[in-house]
Chain A
Amino acid sequence: MIIENDGVDASRSPAFLSRMLQFGDSMFPIGAFAFSSGLESAIQEGVVTDAATLRAFARTALEQAARGDCIALIAGHRAATAGDVDTLVRIDTRVYARKLSDEARTMSVRMGKKFTEMGVEVVGAPLLHAWRECIETSITPGCYPIALAINFAVQDLPASQAFVVHQYGVATTILGAALRLMKVSHIETQKILYELTGQTDGMYATAAAARLSDMAGFAPLTEILAAIHTRAHVRLFMN
């Protein structure tokens, strides 16, 4: 297992940082703006009503991602660094098998496929080509955390930065949707984001120490919100 580039290397050149920003940008065209991660239903059902409940809802999403997808993200980064496609397929299949709602699966495989395709076009490493081939031939579902892990590994960007980008994406998807769905100001959403990203270190340490079989979670109301969203008549977002 190669873990040398798991952590943050302080001597990284500014170019690496700008690449991380590019692929971690919420405007990166993988369609994240089309999803609300259950927030749309949460607002319609009165579960999220103000900045405080929005903060708690986003925090739940971050905790669930750190306990689940991010363990696979870090394991995927190690496998991608070793160029081990079979292990990547195995990890990806396990991530998919743990997405128990249609909309969570749709979001993950749609963003995963787009992220891989963008990587092929922009970065163009052989592993990215191989992974796109695996997705197109249905050898693997192509979930987002694995696509992100492979992209960062082939660019020599560390797993910790892939983790940061993943979690930043989880938070900004919800907070971006909140601006369009509820009465909340840009100042409030930025304050929430600032506060939530402050917990990244602890979450990364836990996820990096976990095994793939440790992927777990517990957020039943979020799952019920997903069930409600698939049935909603009026929908602005895809989940």
Chain B
Amino acid sequence: MIPAAFPPWARAETLGASMPEFASFQDEPPQMSSGTVGKTGFLHLGFEHRSGKTILASLERRVPYMVQRALHCDEQMPGLAYVFLITTTGCLLQGDRLALDITLHPRAQAHLTSQSATKIHAMDANYAAQSQTIVLADDAYLEFLPEPVIPHRHSRFISDTQISVAPSATLLLSEIIQPGRKHHHPDECFGATVLSVSTAAARPDGRSLFAEKLVIEPRRYVMRQTGVMDCFDVFANVILCAPKDKADRIHERAGADINLADGVAFGACRLPNDAGLIFKVLGRETAQVKAKVREFWSVVREEVIGTALPPPYLWR
């Protein structure tokens, strides 16, 4: 690929430069510096609905991002394009910049996931950044449910997701954040230096719907504090953009509860400007949180598509 004046991954490269929480981490790694080949990944996926099913109509990629092909393996939704996001490096290192660009054309239906958890390795210079844009046209349907993120001790990670969603489209976007490798070393539990996760959504005409910026800085703000993580370790943030009538039915069914004995808490709130719902889950272990996210996902499928989920894979 010939680099343009402003390559499509430019945003991922500039993201961390202006954020105050990353001001003290602008030094270059002594290993490969940021932005070099192999450090800056780019992936563009364009899905189109053609003759009864969704195909991966356009694909551009730059290492370490990789996608092989769309599978049509979901028996409940045979037209659904099922795509595994692959990163050939297998983890995020200091100086990594990733840009992901997903477009669903009208009536396209896709499911995106990763192969395994994303580890963010310990850092002593710079940071890792990820920029995502998601564009959903009329009646498009996207489930973007990657495996959890595992921030290691002293990791620094910035993620920014910009969503453009048509009023008739549905987006289910989940992010599960583990506290670190807590069974490996006590310092690994909330050992990350800074995690900054921003999400903003707008209509195709530019009308802003909602914005959220989560900044996790365990050394500045006590993670165990009442109202923050309390006794919980794993956190899931699930955003649902959907038409109001469907979102209302899903909200009705989603439930909300805190069970301190079992170590699970969850609940859904209505987003501003009738954008949809935000569903948050806290758990002591990842499996509990994944199970709750799956429950919510299954309600979304039933209400939006009218089908059930396929049974869970044994090894995921």
Contacts and interface: CB of A to CB of B under 8 A. Distances in A.
A34 interface: no
A228 B281 CA distance: 12
Interface stretch (B69-77, B89-97, B222-230): B222-230
B257 interface: yes
B269 A227 contact: yes
B213 interface: yes
Contacts of A5: none
A221 B237 CA distance: 12
Given A47-B227, A56-B225, A214 B211 contact: no
B162 interface: no
Nearest to B195: A218
Contact of A218 (B214, B255, B272): B214
State the majority secondary structure of interface residues on B.
Answer: strand
B213 A215 contact: yes
A86 B135 CA distance: 29
B20 A98 contact: no
A99 B208 CA distance: 13
A221 B271 contact: no
Contact of A96 (B225, B226, B265, B272): B272
B205 to A, nearest CB: 15
B208 A221 contact: no
Contacts of B267: 223-228
Q: Which of B21, B209, B221, B229 has the most CB of A within 10 A?
A: B221
A97 B208 contact: yes
B111 interface: no
Given A93-B208, A216-B214, A227-B269, A221 B256 contact: no
B268 interface: yes
Contacts of B213: 98, 214-217
B211 A221 contact: no
B32 interface: no
Given A60-B228, A102-B269, A223-B267, A97 B209 contact: yes
B176 interface: no
B216 interface: yes
B232 interface: yes
Given A97-B209, A98-B210, A221-B232, A59 B225 contact: yes
A208 interface: no
A22 interface: no
A60 B226 contact: yes
Chain A interface main SS type: helix
Nearest to A224: B267
Contacts of B256: 224, 227-228, 230-231
Given A224-B282, A227-B256, A227-B280, A219 B227 contact: yes
B258 A225 contact: yes
B65 interface: no
Contact of A42 (B227, B228, B266): B227
Contact of A216 (B215, B225, B282): B215
A225 B228 CA distance: 11
B133 interface: no
B235 interface: yes
B225 A105 contact: no
Contacts of A105: 272
B51 interface: no
Given A59-B225, A214-B19, A224-B267, 15 more contacts: A47-B227, A47-B258, A47-B260, A48-B226, A56-B225, A96-B272, A98-B213, A102-B269, A217-B215, A221-B228, A221-B282, A222-B228, A224-B258, A230-B269, A231-B256
Closest 7 CB pairs of A and B: A227-B267, A60-B227, A56-B226, A101-B269, A216-B215, A216-B213, A45-B258
6 contacts: A67-B215, A94-B208, A98-B213, A100-B210, A221-B227, A224-B282
